[in-house]
Amino acid sequence: MNNAITESDDDSNNLIEVDDTEYLLSIPGMRESIIEGNNTPLDECSEDPGW
């Protein structure tokens, strides 16, 4: 079985990631929520996110 990633596979994955990012950032307040989450110290994070 060949598990090599070709340049076209990598480009395709990058396009999917860009689409996902654009989608998430199109949701009102999501950008701010992501930034807030990135700035939250680990000791303030819940082990039970409630989802």
pLDDT tens for 6-27 read 445 666 666 677 788 888 889 9
* Three-state DSSP class for residue 28: coil
Q: Report the share of the chain in percent with pLDDT over 70.
A: 71
How far apart CA 24 and CA 4 sit, in angstroms, is 30
Task: Please tell me which residue, 5 or 19, carries the higher pLDDT value.
Answer: 19
Contact between 26 and 18 under an 8 Å Cβ cutoff? The reply is no
**Rounded Cα distance, 32 and 15, in Å:** 23
User: For the segment 24-35, what is each residue's pLDDT rounded down to a tens digit?
Assistant: 889 999 999 989
What is the token pair recorded at 19?
A: 């689409």
